[in-house]
Amino acid sequence: MKYTIKKDPHEDERVQKIIEISGQNIFSCYQCGRCSSGCPMAEFMDVLPNQVFMFLQEGDVDTLLNAKTPWICAACFTCTVRCPVGLDLAAVMEAIRELQLRKNYDYVDPYKVDEREELPPIAMVSNFRKFTP
């Protein structure tokens, strides 16, 4: 994965929006990697949890908006409770999803879900809440 400083994140509207939605100071991440080492979904991600902060600090929101990672995170809060500086990465992942969902984007189309009869309500309610506007 290549890193290039795209834009001063303090002047990037979308970075500021992510900070506002998540309530997290993304600049306090110092890349220790603890979030990624304990993440149960990391093996399925294209951008690792710690790299999310790296891209944000470099003002590269496009990479994050095009990444699978925010949609692979399961909001299990393992990183949240283990981050040594107390960052809530699960909330940052949600903020990145929200940037897209708030434009009326459906990541999952409820009408196209197969085996709807066999899925418990808890699965569908939680999925649609995370993946539809």
Partner 1 sequence: MGKKVMFYPGCTLKGVAKNLEDSTVESARVLGYDFIELPGWTCCGAVYGLAQDSVKFTIANVRNLIKAQNYGKEIGDNRLIAVCSMCYNNLRRAHIDVMKNKDKLKTLDLFMDEEANYEGNINVLHYLQFLKNDVGFDNIKKMVKKPLKGLKVAPYYGCLLLRPEEISIDDREDPHILEDLLQLLGAEVVDYPLKNECCGSYHTVDKKEIVGERTYKLVSVAKDMGADVIATSCPLCFFNLDKRQEIAKKKHSEFEHMPIVYFTQLMAIAFGLTSQDVLHFDKHYISPEEVLKKWL
Q: Where does this chain bind ligand SF4 (CB under 6 A)?
A: 29-35, 39-41, 49-50, 53, 73-79, 83-85, 87, 89-90, 93, 121-122, 125
Minimum distance, C-beta of residue 64 to partner 1, in the bound complex (Å) = 16
How many other CB atoms are found less than 10 A from the CB of residue 49?
Answer: 26
Minimum distance, C-beta of residue 34 to ligand SF4, in the bound complex (Å) = 4
How many other CB atoms are found less than 10 A from the CB of residue 31?
Answer: 12
Task: Measure the CA angle with vertex 31, ends 25 and 34; round to 5°.
Answer: 100
Minimum distance, C-beta of residue 115 to ligand SF4, in the bound complex (Å) = 18
Which one, 3 or 104, has the nearer CB to ligand SF4?
A: 3
Alpha carbons 120 and 94: distance in angstroms, whole number: 23
Which one, 29 or 45, has the nearer CB to partner 1?
A: 45
Q: Tell me the Ramachandran region of residue 40: left when phi exceeds 0, alpha when psi lies from -120 to 50, beta otherwise.
A: alpha
Q: Does 1 bind partner 1 (CB under 8 A)?
A: no
Shortest CA distance to 96 belongs to which of 18, 3, 13? 18
Chain residues in the site for partner 1 (CB under 8 A): 20-23, 40-41, 44, 72, 74-78, 80-81, 88, 90-91, 94-95, 98, 108, 113, 118-127, 129-131
